[in-house]
């Protein structure tokens, strides 16, 4: 049971992103926008997950280390305010690694192998039989991230639901071993557009697949991405009736265009025939260019002052070390290991 739910105590939010590349529009609609709104009403921590990033990139650690500040700049550029939200670096919080070790004893290998997100990542990354142990067990480390802050709300995309399920299984095991309530169960906060398709319409938008529009994308990149977007392959001539289902241009217009009734008229027109893909793409491009310009500018300004970004991350990590000490001590207590 979530003990915060029926009290007026500020609910704790913990969320994070792997530092394996700059963040993109999928992150923006999936969770960044919500985090910006929630920072006013909740106690929010965002974790730059560098250790989780290494679970499948240990052969290329620079891919992770070189993206840490990009991710911090992405947060600040979309409006996350470090005076309201604590931004911390996973590898700077030893309590997370310690909790991971304790929790590892409560989770079977077969349970990890059944996690659908991990399963599909193993396939898409082509690990076959040589899965790094750290990769297979990252859901345990993610449970450590969430529970160390005793978070009850996690704004994430829907691919992360299996991680929250595994987190809650661990929470129940710890509480039952302790015979008292130590850890809160968590629940996801999904946005209504929780999964943005890639521009080719084949997958979800992904840092690793090269089919994403990054928050720092240049004007040219935005324009090229919109021009190449998947629409309705049967909508050949302008006067043909077109399909808006699965048409990536309309999915993006739904996610990003502020005027819903205009988009609904546009859909009617497209379905009746007489509206070309060139026109719908132009409308989308204008909308994305306007939205991303201030983000891109803020982001590049921030990246010009790396010392300031490092300072934000160092201060947030210090605060987080203090916040996570209690749960680590409680969990060690469950195992009878607070012996000094």
Positions that interact with ligand TRP (CB under 6 A) = 14-18, 47, 49, 52, 142, 145-146, 154, 156, 160
Give, in degrees to the nearest 5, the angle at Cα 255 between 235 and 291.
Answer: 105
Nearer to ligand TRP, 118 or 275 (CB): 118
Q: How far apart are CA 220 and CA 300, in angstroms?
A: 16
| Length of the chain (residues) | 340
Contact present, 115 and 166 (Cβ < 8 Å): yes
Closest-CA residue to 76 (of 304, 321, 322, 318): 304
Longest Cα–Cα distance of the chain, Å, equals 79
Q: How far is the CB of 130 from ligand TRP (least distance, A)?
A: 21
User: Of the two residues 145 and 277, which places its CB atom closer to ligand TRP in the complex?
Assistant: 145
CB-wise, 155 or 216, nearer to ligand TRP?
155
CB-nearer residue toward ligand TRP: 16 or 197 = 16
Nearest residue (CB) to ligand TRP, 18 versus 42: 18
Residue 267 CB, shortest distance to ligand TRP, in Å, is: 32
Rg (CA), the chain: 22
Contacts of 267 (CB under 8 A, 6+ apart): 244, 250
Nearest-approach distance from CB 241 to ligand TRP, in angstroms: 39
Toward ligand TRP, which CB reaches closer, 13 or 217? 13
CB of 207 to ligand TRP, least distance (A): 8
How near is the Cβ of 49 to ligand TRP at its closest, in Å?
A: 4
Whichever of 65 and 289 has its CB closer to ligand TRP, that residue is 65
**Beta carbon nearer to ligand TRP, 159 or 240:** 159
Tell me how far, at minimum, the Cβ of 154 lies from ligand TRP, in Å.
Answer: 5
User: How far is residue 123's CA from residue 22's CA, in Å, rounded to a whole number?
Assistant: 23
Compute the least distance from the CB of residue 99 to ligand TRP, in Å.
Answer: 12
**Least Å distance between CB 48 and ligand TRP?**
9
């Amino acid at each position: 049971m979530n003990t915060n739910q029926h009290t007026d105590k500020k609910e704790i939010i913990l969320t994070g992103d792997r530092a394996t590349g700059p963040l993109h529009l999928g992150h923006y609609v999936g969770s960044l926008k919500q985090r910006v709104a929630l920072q006013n009403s909740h106690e929010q921590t965002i974790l730059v997950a560098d250790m989780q990033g290494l679970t499948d990139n240990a052969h290329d650690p620079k891919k992770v280390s070189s993206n840490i500040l990009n991710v911090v700049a992405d947060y600040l550029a979309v409006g996350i305010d470090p005076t309201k939200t604590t931004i911390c670096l996973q590898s700077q919080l030893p309590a997370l690694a310690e909790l991971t070790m304790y929790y590892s004893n409560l989770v079977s290998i077969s349970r990890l192998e059944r996690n659908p997100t991990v399963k599909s990542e193993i396939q898409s990354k082509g690990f076959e039989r040589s899965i790094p142990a750290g990769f297979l067990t990252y859901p345990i480390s993610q449970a450590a991230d969430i529970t160390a802050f005793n978070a009850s709300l996690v704004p994430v995309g829907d691919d992360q639901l299996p991680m929250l399920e595994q987190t809650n299984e661990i929470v129940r095991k710890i509480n039952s071993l302790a015979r008292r309530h130590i850890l809160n169960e968590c629940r996801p906060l999904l946005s209504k557009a929780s999964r943005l398709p890639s521009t080719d319409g084949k997958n979800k938008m992904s840092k690793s697949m090269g089919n994403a529009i990054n928050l720092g994308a240049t004007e040219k990149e935005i324009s090229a991405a919109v021009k190449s977007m998947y629409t309705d392959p049967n909508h050949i001539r302008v006067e043909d009736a077109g399909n808006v289902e699965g048409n990536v241009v309309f999915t993006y217009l739904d996610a990003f265009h502020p005027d819903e009734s205009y988009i609904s008229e546009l859909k009617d027109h497209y379905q009746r025939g007489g509206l070309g893909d060139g026109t719908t793409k132009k409308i989308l491009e204008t909308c994305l260019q306007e939205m991303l310009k201030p983000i891109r500018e803020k982001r590049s300004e921030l990246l010009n002052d790396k010392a300031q970004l490092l300072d934000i991350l160092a201060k947030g990590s210090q605060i987080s070390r203090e916040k996570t000490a209690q749960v680590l001590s409680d969990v060690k207590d469950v195992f009878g290991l607070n012996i000094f």
